[in-house]
Amino acid sequence: MDIIIVPILELMHTLLHLYVWVLIASVILSWLISFQIINMHSRVVAVIGEALYRLTEPFLSLLRRFIPGIGGFDFTPMIAIFILVFLQNIIARLILKFIGIS
């Protein structure tokens, strides 16, 4: 049974890690656009921005239902990262438990 569960848990851990980086990239892109360092008129920026939006917005909109913006700041990406890191730690502990390391 460990032959199937451990690789699945490792894949989940890796996907969560990648999604954290997608969230970070999305936040950085939004800052760059807000401070007018780059603009959405560039086709490359528009495509990257749309891809990041489509990847992150479903999860962030779910969190925004419960966490309102405070003073014009959106803390949902930070809270999302905390949640994902928490889940990563749980999965890492499960992996260690399945391979026999306490």
- Each residue of 59-81: pLDDT tens digit? 999 999 998 878 888 899 999 99
pLDDT of residue 102: 60
The DSSP code for 70 is B
| Pair 49, 40: CB distance under 8 Å | yes
Q: Is the pTM of this model over 0.75?
A: yes
Residues 26-60 have pLDDT tens digits of: 999 999 999 999 998 999 999 999 999 999 999 99
| Pair 49, 33: CB distance under 8 Å | yes
pLDDT at 83 over 90: yes
